[in-house]
Amino acid sequence: MNPSLTIVEAALKLAGKLPGDVVEQTAQIISSHEASEARSRIADSIPHPHHRSLCLKFFNDWRTKAPGVSPAEVAIALRTAACSQRSREADQSVEIVWTGPRSEEISFRHTEQAILQVLNSAQSRILLVSYAVYSIPNIQEAVVRAAKRGVKITFVVETPNKIAVESEYSTLQALGEDVARCSTVYYWPKENRKADGSGKLGILHVKCVVGDGRSLFLSSANLTKYAFSLNMELGVLITGGEAPSQIERVFDEMIREKSLAKC
């Protein structure tokens, strides 16, 4: 393959996995430093470990597979790829997602269908956040399939311990050992939460699934069988635009700043 084309394709792939500011930062380092120094600058300047590893892999692939491509050309490829990614993300669609009594006049996507769409379409990373979780076979299988095709799975739950919630549990283990094995799991420690005057702590009440910073399912529904069948639940499935990547970055920051702890 033509070395320049190798870099273009690698840059497009990287831009699809990273926030635009990280791609720009990498381009800036490569264009303004000698190759021998640029690698260490990337390693020192990008705090998020997954983002850093992706950028370093891109750098190493450049130096081993296309060393004849100049730093200026590599930087241009990265910036062009980031611009292309932003254009794709700007084409946003929003769908209403519903579980509950059916309307005779209006048809909505079902909660489970929307979640499965996000899980099945992800190619790089998935973020799942839920207060309560329960064993749901279709969701379990989709998460494991995603992990097997190389998708990084991050789960954020209310607590690693069992808490009764309508006979269900707010713990990842309820989703099964296969999911727990292929996921990195975080929770919100009590010492990191605000409390009111009586000592009552806040809870993690977010329910969302994000795929590749491109798709966002945001809902009242927990990952429970009741939310998928008996409850009345309302949400939205957002594809494109800035919202998916913004939510992803919020949780990345909480993990980086240790507001969330690894189980």
Identity of the amino acid at 85? Q
Query: Which pLDDT value is given to residue 254?
Result: 95
pLDDT tens string 38-87: 999 999 999 988 899 999 999 999 999 999 999 999 999 999 999 988 88
Between strands 233-239 and 215-219, the pairing is antiparallel
Report CA dihedral (250, 252, 172, 226) to the nearest 10 degrees: 20
Query: Which pLDDT value is given to residue 135?
Result: 75
Query: Which pLDDT value is given to residue 122?
Result: 95
What's the first-to-final CA gap in the chain, in angstroms?
44
CA 236 → CA 95, 124, 131, 215, distances in Å? 6, 22, 18, 11
Regions in the chain scoring below 70 on pLDDT = 1, 89-90, 160-173
- Give CA 211 to chain center in angstroms: 5
Could you tell me the sign of the dihedral formed by the alpha carbons of 191, 197, 198, 201, in that order?
Answer: negative
Q: Copy the structure tokens of residue 101.
A: 């009594």
